[in-house]
C-alpha cells in the first residue's frame, strides 16, 4: 500500500503539534505525535526509578510497551496498557523525555513503531528526526522554527491552559537546555533535513502556517 506522509520537525515550542494537528485535519491524515512516545518512556523511568544509564535502560527497554490509539481523533499514549496521555506534559516529563531520547536503544524501539504507523496509513508526523531519519522519503518535510522568546511564551501558555503554572523565564531555560541536548546527541539529532522547507512561525498565525503547509503538500504530490 502506498501511503503519504508529511514530516514536521523543529525545536521545542515551535508549534509543531498544533500545526501538525491542523494539517492532519485538512488533509484527512492521522496525526502522530512522536514526542509523546519519548515522554511516555521517560515517565516509565521516573515511575520506576530507572537511572539514566545506557546499560540499565538497555535492560528494561523490552519491559516498556508503548502503544498509540485514537479516541475522537485525538492521539492517546498507552504505557504498558495504561493511558498516560494526561501525565506526560509536565516539565519533569519533558526533561526526562529529552534525557532518555539520547539512548539509541530507546530511539530504535520507538522509531520502529513510528515507521509501522506510517506504513499503514497517511500521516502527519512531528518530532525531531522525522525528516532526517524516521521517514527519509516523506512527501513533504517541514522544519518549523520561531524565536526563543516566542517559543517560551507559547509553551508557557499551553501549560497554563492545561492547569500547569510556570513562568516564561524558567521555561526559556528548560527549552534551551532541551534543544541543546536534542541537537547535540550522537544518534539521530535534531537538525533540518537537506530537503526540508524551513518556516519561521514567529510572526505567522496558526492558520497561515497550516495553509502554507497544505499548499506545499498539494504542490509536491501533484
Residue 89 exposure: Cα atoms within 13 Å on the Cβ side: 18
Pick between residue 185 and residue 210 the one whose CB is nearest to ligand DC. 185
Residues 108-127: x where in contact with ligand DC by CB under 6 A, - otherwise, as a string: -------------------x
Among 6, 7, 8, 12, binds ligand DC (CB under 6 A): 12
Q: Is position 34 an interface residue for ligand DC (rule: CB under 6 A)?
A: yes
Pick between residue 98 and residue 210 the one whose CB is nearest to ligand DC. 98
Q: Is position 39 an interface residue for ligand DC (rule: CB under 6 A)?
A: yes
Pick between residue 34 and residue 75 the one whose CB is nearest to ligand DC. 34
Pick between residue 27 and residue 96 the one whose CB is nearest to ligand DC. 96
Q: Is position 101 an interface residue for ligand DC (rule: CB under 6 A)?
A: yes
- The minimum distance between CB 219 and ligand DC, in angstroms, equals 25
Measured distance CA(50)–CA(69) in Å, rounded: 26
Size of the site for ligand DC (CB under 6 A): 15
Residues 6+ apart with CB under 8 A from 11: 145, 151, 175, 179, 182, 183, 190
Burial per residue of 32-55, b for 16 or more beta-carbon CB atoms within 10 angstroms, e otherwise = bbbbbbbbbbbbbbeeeebeeeee
Q: Is position 15 an interface residue for ligand DC (rule: CB under 6 A)?
A: no
Q: Is position 129 an interface residue for ligand DC (rule: CB under 6 A)?
A: yes
- Taking the alpha carbons of 101, 103, 104, 108 in that order, is the dihedral positive or negative? negative
Measured distance CA(195)–CA(29) in Å, rounded: 22
- The minimum distance between CB 218 and ligand DC, in angstroms, equals 25
Q: Is position 174 an interface residue for ligand DC (rule: CB under 6 A)?
A: no
Maximal CA-CA distance, the chain: 50
Residue 128, all three cell numbers: 525531531
Query: Do residues 53 and 107 lie in contact, with contact meaning Cβ atoms separated by under 8 Å?
Result: no
**Which 3 state secondary structure label does DSSP give 134?**
helix
Q: Is position 10 an interface residue for ligand DC (rule: CB under 6 A)?
A: no
Q: Which residues bind ligand DC (CB under 6 A)?
A: 12, 34-35, 38-39, 94, 97-98, 101, 127-130, 178, 182
Amino acid at each position: 500500500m502506498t501511503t503519504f506522509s508529511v514530516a514536521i520537525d523543529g525545536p521545542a515550542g515551535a508549534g509543531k503539534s498544533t500545526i501538525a494537528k491542523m494539517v492532519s485535519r485538512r488533509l484527512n491524515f492521522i496525526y502522530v505525535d512522536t514526542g509523546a512516545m519519548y515522554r511516555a518512556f521517560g515517565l516509565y523511568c521516573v515511575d520506576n526509578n530507572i537511572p539514566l544509564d545506557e546499560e540499565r535502560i538497555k535492560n528494561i527497554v523490552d519491559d516498556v510497551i508503548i502503544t498509540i490509539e485514537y479516541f475522537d481523533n485525538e492521539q492517546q499514549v498507552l504505557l504498558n496498557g495504561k493511558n498516560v496521555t494526561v501525565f506526560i506534559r509536565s516539565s519533569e516529563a519533558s526533561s526526562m523525555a529529552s534525557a532518555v531520547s539520547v539512548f539509541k536503544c530507546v530511539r530504535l524501539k520507538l522509531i520502529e513503531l513510528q515507521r509501522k504507523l506510517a506504513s499503514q496509513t497517511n500521516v502527519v508526523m512531528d518530532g525531531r528526526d522525522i525528516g532526517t531519519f524516521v521517514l527519509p522519503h516523506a512527501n513533504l518535510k517541514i522544519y518549523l522554527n520561531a524565536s526563543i522568546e516566542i517559543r517560551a511564551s507559547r509553551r508557557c501558555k499551553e501549560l497554563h491552559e492545561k492547569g500547569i503554572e510556570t513562568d516564561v523565564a524558567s521555561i526559556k531555560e528548560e527549552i534551551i537546555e532541551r534543544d541543546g541536548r536534542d541537537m547535540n546527541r550522537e544518534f539521530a539529532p535534531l537538525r533540518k533535513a537537506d530537503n526540508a522547507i524551513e518556516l519561521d512561525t514567529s510572526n505567522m498565525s496558526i492558520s497561515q502556517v497550516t495553509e502554507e503547509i497544505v499548499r506545499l503538500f498539494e504542490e509536491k504530490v501533484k
